[in-house]
Amino acid sequence: MIEMKVAGIALDAVTRSPIVLLRDSDDRRALPIYVGQDQARAIISALEDQVPPRPLTHDLMVNILEEWDMTLERVIIHSLKDNTFYAILTVRQGEAKKEIDARPSDAIALALRTGSPIWVMEEVIADASIPVDQDADEAERRAFREFLSNLRPEDFSERGRSSSGEAQ
């Protein structure tokens, strides 16, 4: 799993639909997740530390967690099926821990309000992320190609013998 942070909200140029952008700590990958207008407003209000005069849905949920001495330990965006992301909330109360199914937009809004980390499974990042730092990606590809060009067939046989316990 890779921890990601909310980079902000963007609008799809064609559909004008809001997209929450998650970024990894190295700023190498961004994960765009389409969300509804209401969820985008909930995320933006958390990003801007806005406090409504009365609790809205996500604020109410945080209040319930606090009143029952429960902690949102983390959010995990664990899969992508048919262009739909799936997430869980990992909630702890004392020694008990539960995983609760949630929409990623709601999970992100709660994570922002509670300061909880947002984790994304590597498979999801591989399937749906977009590169942010293309120069670093290209440098990594060049280094890998150089590594491959310097390999010799005997490098593999030596590694195979030493890992299998045979004497060289």
Q: Are β-strands 29-34 and 18-24 bridged in parallel, bridged antiparallel, or unpaired?
A: antiparallel
Q: What H or E segment, with its residue span, contains residue 21?
A: strand 18-24
DSSP state of 48: T
| Whole-number percent of the chain with pLDDT over 70 | 85
Phi/psi for 40 (5° steps) reads -60, -45
32-49 pLDDT, tens digit each: 999 999 999 999 999 999
As a whole number of angstroms, the distance between CA 28 and CA 131 comes to 6
Question: Per-domain residue ranges for the chain?
Answer: 2-132, 134-168
Write down the CATH number for the domain with range 2-132.
3.10.690.10
What pTM does this model have?
0.77
Burial of 22 (0-12, 13-18, 19+ CB in 10 A): buried
